Amino acid sequence: MEAAFFDLDKTIISKSSSLALSRPMYRAGMVTRGQLVRGAYAQLVYALVGADERKMDRLKEGLLQLTKGWDRAEVERLVRDVIIDAIDPYVYQEALDLMALHRSEGRAVYIVSSSPEEVVRPLARHFGVAGVLATRARIVDGLYTGELEFYCAGEGKADAVRSLAERVGIDLEHSYAYSDSIADLPMLEAVGHPVAVNPDKELRKQAEEREWDIRDFRRPVRLRTKIAQTAAQPKTQVAAGVVAAVTAAAIVGWLVVRSRVSRRTV
């Protein structure tokens, strides 16, 4: 079996997902006004300088502090209620096309995300992806404890990919991985066909030196339009057409914590 592994933020969607959902989370009382304002500025910085391993570690620490006490059911409800409005129109058509191409060539498509699996998986399973590799937050009595069982970022993504490959028989040498960030270098190195998508400066340098494929996605599309276009198609085609967009949107509930992390960084 061959597979294609897709990062989410700035690979499938064209902007920071945390910024996309920060206002709905503010209205829900999950972030403060100060975090909302700092988040807007921090996301500009993130867009300009990217996220290296050090910043990913700071992201994790900010995530633990900010999410402590959040109700998992409330996070899932919020994502479900605002998912299209929050992301529209920031899904790359090129990402959707690539996922459809890989499926047509018999490869299993996986979303590899630092988002929690309880947010990503319920959405992803309805739209035809083979599976999700995601962060596992520790939950006690339905609440985030502020601890993680597994953080799916950096080397953790590569470990998750290799573990999955061993478990289900994926040929990584003939598989593909897509990401924009130098933080995902270990995941890209784990497959035979790494692809840098809209890469940050450090990843572009690595990709050029190693002669990896580099792609620049430039065509964000509206979820509502894509859903309307596929509504009259057979269910299998609907799944192929919108899977990446909907799964990508699932991360917005988790990555809003960049407002806290970026504030510390900048």
The b-or-e profile of 35-63 (16+ CB within 10 A means b, else e) is: bbebbeebbeebeeebbbeebbebbbebb
Which residue out of 9, 88, 184, 200 is catalytically annotated? 9
| Residue 112: strand pairing partners | 133
Going by C-beta distance under 8 Å and a sequence separation of 6 or more, which residues neighbour residue 44?
A: none
Separation of CA 199 from chain center: 15
SS3 state of residue 166: helix
159 is catalytic: no
9 is catalytic: yes
Read off the tokens for 225: 């339009």
Backbone angles phi, psi at 144, to 5 degrees: -65, 135
Position of tokens 């964000």?
A: 220
Which residue out of 7, 88, 180, 200 is catalytically annotated? 7
Measure the CA–CA gap between 217 and 77, rounded to whole angstroms: 31
Measure the CA–CA gap between 178 and 199, rounded to whole angstroms: 10
Q: Which residues are catalytic?
A: 7, 9
